[in-house]
Amino acid sequence: MKSFQIRSKMVNGVAVLYLKGHLDAHQVARFEKELVRMIRESNFNILINGQELNYITSAGMGIIMGYIDEVREKGGDIKLCSLNERVHETFDLVGFTEIYDFVADEQAAIEKFNRVPPTA
Amino acid sequence: MVVELTRHIATLSQFPPADAQKVSLAIDEAVTNVIKHSYGNQPDQEVRIEYFIAAAGLRICVRYRGSPPDISGEEPDIDRMIKTKRKGGLGVKLMRTIMDSVLYTTAGGEHCCEMIKWRTSN
């Protein structure tokens, strides 16, 4: 079984999940557990940093799909950043790149979360 | 193992590396569906995979028993899946996007997921 690691930390009010390795059906429970923990702790601005993610299947993408509505209803979002070309293309194959916000790097994503909308 | 084997066979079939990678992902999804849905995650069931290499492309048959596949011909709608908080169903969409043909059949108690990738397709 290929390895998968997940760690998380708060960065300027954003819960960042760092995924590393191979995320498939065998590993997806750990990803879901951590994502749910973030949401249950009322962190609705969630960034998935996939800089070290080498492979993802529909199981991993399905977890993001299963919680995005709840997070957005609470005024937050799940954004993704720093994906390599292959992983980004996998998201693109199912049309996720039109529905979710993919950002080039973590700093840009954090800034996007914390950007105050202009007032009228 | 099946992912690496499929990628290797697709590469031997002269698919570019990026396409070989995608074909191996489609097989990963097909086999995962079989183990999860047809065999209820039981680890000791048989899944047989046959590869047919031809000049025009690659045909792969995933053969198994257990519960019949619950696959409709409809294209999964992502927006509807989000609204209903579904976490599954993306695998079939991936398979159909990657491969040129995905066909489920049953004969003599054995189910088959037949997938074809033509060499000239994107």
Q: Which residues contact B74 (CB under 8 A, 6 or more apart)?
A: none
| Per-residue pLDDT at A119 | 65
Sort residue A34 into left (φ over 0), alpha (ψ -120 to 50) or beta.
alpha
Read off the pLDDT of each residue in A3-17 and give the average, rounded to a whole number: 96
Read off the pLDDT of each residue in A33-55 and give the average, rounded to a whole number: 97
Q: What distance in Å separates the CA atoms of residue A58 and residue B36, rounded to the nearest whole number?
A: 13
Fold for the domain defined by B2-118: Heat Shock Protein 90 (3.30.565)
In this complex, the residue of A25, A59, A69 whose CB is nearest that of residue B82 is A69
Contact of B10 with B53, CB cutoff 8 Å = no
Share of chain A above pLDDT 90, in %: 92
- For A68, the closest chain B residue by CA position comes to B82
| Per-residue pLDDT at A80 | 98
Between strands B101-107 and B110-118, the pairing is: antiparallel
Contact of B104 with B33, CB cutoff 8 Å = no
Give yes or no for B21 touching A (CB within 8 A). Answer: yes
| Per-residue pLDDT at B68 | 80
ipTM: 0.85
Mean pLDDT over the full length of chain A: 94
Give yes or no for B89 touching A (CB within 8 A). Answer: yes
| Per-residue pLDDT at B4 | 94
Q: Which residues contact A70 (CB under 8 A, 6 or more apart)?
A: A39, B85
C-beta atoms of B86 and A24 within 8 A = no
The full set of domain ranges for chain A reads 4-27+36-113
Share of chain A above pLDDT 70, in %: 95
Q: Which residue has the higher pLDDT, B85 or A60?
A: A60
Report whether pLDDT(B121) > 60: no
| Per-residue pLDDT at B75 | 66
Beta strands in chain B, from DSSP E residues, in sequence order: 47-53, 57-64, 101-107, 110-118
**pLDDT, tens digit, for every residue of A73-95?**
999 999 999 999 999 999 999 99
Q: What distance in Å separates the CA atoms of residue B119 and residue B116, rounded to the nearest whole number?
A: 10
Report whether pLDDT(A31) > 60: yes
| Per-residue pLDDT at B37 | 87
Contact of A23 with A4, CB cutoff 8 Å = yes
pTM: 0.88
Per-residue confidence at B113, pLDDT binned at 50, 70, 90?
A: very high
| Per-residue pLDDT at A96 | 92
> Which CATH superfamily is A4-27+36-113 part of?
STAS domain (3.30.750.24)
C-beta atoms of B85 and A95 within 8 A = no
Q: What is the SS3 assignment for A21?
A: strand
Alpha helices (H) in chain A, listed in sequence order: 28-40, 58-73, 85-93, 106-114
**pLDDT, tens digit, for every residue of B13-68?**
999 999 999 999 999 999 999 998 889 888 789 999 999 999 999 999 999 998 88
Q: Which residues contact B112 (CB under 8 A, 6 or more apart)?
A: B61, B62, B63, B104, B105, B106
Residue A14's alpha-carbon distances to A42, A63, A113, B2, in angstroms, are 11, 19, 7, 38
| Per-residue pLDDT at A112 | 96
- Partners of B101 in the β-ladder: B116
Q: What distance in Å separates the CA atoms of residue B122 and residue B117, rounded to the nearest whole number?
A: 9
In Å, the largest CA–CA distance within chain B is 44
C-beta atoms of B86 and A65 within 8 A = yes
Report whether pLDDT(A47) > 80: yes
